[in-house]
Amino acid sequence: SVTAKVVEKTDIPLSEIRLINGSGLGEENKLSPRAVVSMLLAIQRHLRPQGLSISDVMPVFGQDVGTLIYRELPNQSALKTGTLAAVSSLGGMFPTRDRGPVWFSIQNRGANVELLRAQQDALLLTLMQHWGPASAPEILQPKVILGQEPYQLGDPKRNLPFEGSL
């Protein structure tokens, strides 16, 4: 099962993980903040031998948009968002001068998801200001830049006509 694989790769106690489906949608899926950070670090360890980092597989604030649009977060943060009706979560890494890369997970619950997001943003900006802004270390800088060679989306040379029958 996915849960068993996560426990094996991260050494997270089984009591901190409950994965019911692969989408993450649904209140039955639960991860402790420690489990989220452990999973992010495991992803980073897995990517490193290929010369990649978490910043290559997750949105980077100040570079990518999507779920990060309209947010106020530390620049060069690699982030994963998650939202349900009354839950908002944010996990990832942001670079600091005094502490180096800070790995974190915030999970909060309430009726106003926009307020929850604003509180997450304010907390991270406060920590970044306290520890000092910094550029991400080389190991955590993205190597994959969508829209630049060889990662062009919509390349017409990749579009092939369908020659089969339905």
Check residue 100 and give its pLDDT: 95
pTM of the model: 0.81
Q: What is the pLDDT along the chain (166 residues), one digit of tens a residue?
A: 777 887 888 888 888 888 877 666 777 778 899 999 999 999 999 999 988 999 999 999 988 878 898 999 999 999 999 988 888 999 999 999 999 999 999 999 999 999 999 999 999 999 999 999 999 888 888 887 766 666 655 556 655 666 655 5
Which domains, and CATH codes, for the chain? 2-154 (3.40.710.10)
Contact 125, 74 (CB under 8 A): yes
Q: How long a stretch of residues is the chain?
A: 166
Which value, to the nearest 10 degrees, does the dihedral of the CA atoms of residues 72, 77, 82, 83 take?
0
Check residue 115 and give its pLDDT: 96
